[in-house]
Structure 1
Amino acid sequence: MAPPHSTVVSPVVTLLLKVLTFVFLLISLIILTTNTATLSICLSTFKIRFNDVYTYRYMLATIVMGIAYTLLQTVFTIYQLSTGNRLGGDCLFQFDFYADKVISYILATGAAAGFGATVDLKSVFEGTSSSFDQFFNKGKAGR
């Protein structure tokens, strides 16, 4: 019986997945940074932006780190496609492995923190304004 052969992911597939990851992170960045709401109470008007919620700032930081890492990995993949060689040889495999783990944990904590804050704040402001409801729904979508 022959041993099972290992499958190697094509650099083209890797590049397509990295581009897709970049697009999703960019969409999350746009949704999060353009998120605002206005609340009118008596004669006062309050405007809330994404940076007024500390957790959304943390989400922004994790998204930016994810974009930077994805762009770095995209450059490595394009180099591999154009030359046929991996930049850094075998030691880059270890970097890929550990960096992927770290970035995935960072992105997961950003998404979880944003979800938790959205659920908590949405219940506090429940019944105040439909624009606040939309604000927190967009905050949940940005994760």
Structure 2
Amino acid sequence: MEANQATSKGSRTVVLVLRLLTFVFLLTSLIILATNTATVETTDGDAKIKFQDVIAFRYMIATIVIGFAYNLLQTTISIYSIVTGNRLLSGDAGYLFDFYGDKVVSYLLATGAAAGLGVAKELHPFFKDILELPLNKFFAMAYASGSLLLLGFITTAISSVFSSYALPKKVQN
């Protein structure tokens, strides 16, 4: 029984580390994308381009915020679990919440990263070659934010694997 508790505590620690990594990736991604602006000189004067001007970047922000909120909640629950040795949500509810929450949030993060990276890949050549607008920094920041969001998805997906393994062992049929 003692070896099982050590494995359980070890896996809880790994999940906490994954959640902390996700926290850092999502926070950094959020900061980069939210502060991403560019000013372009046009014949009508200067035009300021912000992330809000691109719908896919707005979707990306929404997925980051949802993932960030969920991850913050799960990080708090993980810390409580490690410190006290007890789960905050007792019984099957906690394991089901972990299982389904990790799945849904990881899919949201994946689609947010795909949308952001995809639109940046498509729009950058358009602005650069066709409109001849130098927005390299704007799109470099979008790529950086999307890449960090993708890393946040990966760490959440790995955490999801741990919740998948815990589910059949703990939930009563």
Same fold (TM over 0.5): yes
TM bucket by the smaller chain?
0.7 to 0.9
Q: Which amino acid aligns with 1:26?
A: L
Indicate the residue corresponding to 2:117 in structure 1: 115
Q: Residues of 1 paired with 2:61 and 2:127: CA distance?
A: 22
Shift of 1:129: 3.4
Q: Residues of 1 paired with 2:56 and 2:87: CA distance?
A: 38
Give the count of matched residue pairs. Answer: 137
1:37-91 Cα shifts (integer Å, max 9, x gaps): 1111235111101111111111000000111011110111111122111122342
TM-score (norm 1): 0.88
Indicate the residue corresponding to 1:134 in structure 2: 137
The SS at the match of 1:126 is helix
TM-score (norm 2): 0.73
Q: Using the aligned pairs only, state the percent identity.
A: 52
Q: Which runs of 5+ in 2 are unaligned?
A: 147-173
Q: Aligned match of 2:108 in 106, 109, 126?
A: 106
1:72-114 Cα shifts (integer Å, max 9, x gaps): 1011111112211112234211211111010000000000011
Two-structure CA RMSD over aligned residues (Å): 1.6
Indicate the residue corresponding to 1:97 in structure 2: 99
Indicate the residue corresponding to 1:41 in structure 2: 42
Q: Which amino acid aligns with 2:97?
A: F
Q: Which runs of 5+ in 1 are unaligned?
A: none
- Structure 1 position 20 matched with structure 2 position 21: yes
